[in-house]
Structure 1
């Protein structure tokens, strides 16, 4: 069981956080470039959040959303 959690740690540290590590090292060399990349990711996330909310509003306006309180069995 210990090796399973060590594998998860390795996956997180070496694979999933590779971009964050690259940005951390880039900041030491070029602060402006690191911040431009960070702001680009922030702008992309804001755009797709806005798009998602817009699509939710379209579905609500077309009455395609089930807002009945008994839509889920645990709410009966």
Structure 2
């Protein structure tokens, strides 16, 4: 049983977490390049939020949104 858990630990440290280890090594050389993945995720999240708000505005302007009190059971 011990070999199974050591195999899982070895796989997760050497294979699954290898990209994070390379990012950690890159951070000492170039901070901006190491944090580029964070900026990419923030740009994706911001664009998704803008798209969502624009879709909400479109449905609100068309009058398709249900605003009566029976639209939600907890109200």
TM-score interval (norm. to shorter): 0.5 to 0.7
TM-score by length of 1: 0.60
8 Å contact kept, 1:27–1:33: no
Q: Which runs of 4+ in 1 moved over 4 A?
A: none
TM-score by length of 2: 0.61
Aligned length: 59
Deviation at 1:28, TM superposition (A): 2.9
Runs of 5+ in structure 1 lacking a partner? 1-9
| Deviation sequence 1:24-58 (CA, Å, 0-9, x none) | 64033233222112111101110110110000000
RMSD (Å) for aligned C-alpha atoms: 2.5
Residue in 1 that maps onto 2:52 = 52
**Larger Rg computed on CA atoms:** 2
- How many Å separate the matches in 1 of 2:42 and 2:62? 31
Question: SS at the partner of 1:74?
Answer: coil
Q: Say which of 25, 36, 44 aligns to 1:28.
A: 25
